[in-house]
Amino acid sequence: MTARAFLVRGLLVGLLAGFATFLVAHQVGEPHVETAIALEEAAAAAEPADPAAHDHEDEGTTVSRHDQRTWGLLTGSLAVGLAIGGIVALVAASVVGRIGSLTPGQSTALVSLIGFVSVALVPFLKYPATPPAVGNADTIGDRTSWFFGFMLISVAFAAFSSLLAIRLADEIGTYGAVLAGVGVYVVAVVVAGQLMPTVNEIGDFPADVLWYFRRASLITLATMWGVIGVGLTGLVGRLYRRETATVQRRELAASL
């Protein structure tokens, strides 16, 4: 039960999660991206041509949509899967034996769940993904910084709430400690969400296309974290049972 053993298994499940995420994103998300691009192109074609505008289409390196939705999407999914899998594995290794009486497999599942909620779900609810043709190009930098800032706030309070629940477990019991930790986290992210800027740049973009795109984005995120959580929990649980059996055999041999 070493950090290296956790990391190797985290990278393996991260690689698998990357492939699964690519398949889901390609089949579920890309059709809505294509629809959004078609709407964007139709809106651009309907606008009067600006004779003073300069065409930059041929400048620089252009990546085709085919490469974006195939090799580009696969490469990005694998990279993100490996990164998240490795990070979750190292965090899971660091909390083994420190969360009450949870086994390594159970604590790994808890880490994965907290990670999904704090890193993916809550930031998505505040700043959901937007398809092409939605949003002002001049505010991309601000929107990106707001998203990552809110994600850091969510992760920080998730860690603080988890530590608080662990410390309170012996005093008020597991049930009360969990309620206290969840309550602190919910209040903190709600207040932070109210204080941070709101993005409303949808315009006249079709609501149904936007909903389908955001639903597909959330499904893609859930696939990534679900595969990592379930896969890593299973591998860590199997490793723990194997190590426990080895220790028991040695103790039995020593007692004879």
Q: Please give the pLDDT value at position 89.
A: 93
d(CA 18, CA 220): 10
Helix (H) or strand (E) holding 234: helix 207-255
Residue for token digits 């492939």? Answer: 19
DSSP state of 133: T
Whether residues 121 and 1 fall in one domain = yes
Whether residues 192 and 249 fall in one domain = no
Please provide the size of the chain in residues: 256
- Confirm whether 54 is domain-assigned: no
- Confirm whether 57 is domain-assigned: no
Helix (H) or strand (E) holding 252: helix 207-255
Whether residues 172 and 224 fall in one domain = no
d(CA 69, CA 33): 10
Q: Please give the pLDDT value at position 158.
A: 94
DSSP state of 127: S
Under a CB-based contact definition with an 8 Å cutoff, are residues 21 and 85 in contact? no
Whether residues 83 and 164 fall in one domain = no
Q: Which domain holds residue 32?
A: 1-42+67-134+206-256
- Confirm whether 56 is domain-assigned: no
Other Cβ atoms within 10 Å of 135 Cβ, number: 17
Whether residues 17 and 89 fall in one domain = yes
Q: Please give the pLDDT value at position 189.
A: 94
- Confirm whether 58 is domain-assigned: no
Whether residues 128 and 32 fall in one domain = yes
Structure tokens at 179: 């309620």
Q: Please give the pLDDT value at position 58.
A: 45
Whether residues 110 and 167 fall in one domain = no
Whether residues 38 and 119 fall in one domain = yes
Domain final residue pick, 184, 201, 218: 201
Q: Please give the pLDDT value at position 52.
A: 47
Is the alpha carbon torsion for 65, 216, 89, 232 positive or negative?
Answer: negative
Whether residues 104 and 228 fall in one domain = yes
- Confirm whether 82 is domain-assigned: yes
Low-confidence ranges of the chain (pLDDT < 70): 40-41, 43-61, 63, 133, 135, 203, 256
Q: Please give the pLDDT value at position 71.
A: 83
d(CA 113, CA 100): 17
Whether residues 113 and 130 fall in one domain = yes
Whether residues 235 and 109 fall in one domain = yes
d(CA 40, CA 43): 5
Q: How many domains are contained in the chain?
A: 2
Q: Please give the pLDDT value at position 56.
A: 44
- Confirm whether 168 is domain-assigned: yes
From residue 194, alpha-carbon distances to 43, 136, 190, 248 in Å are 33, 22, 6, 54
Q: Please give the pLDDT value at position 111.
A: 93
Q: Please give the pLDDT value at position 46.
A: 59
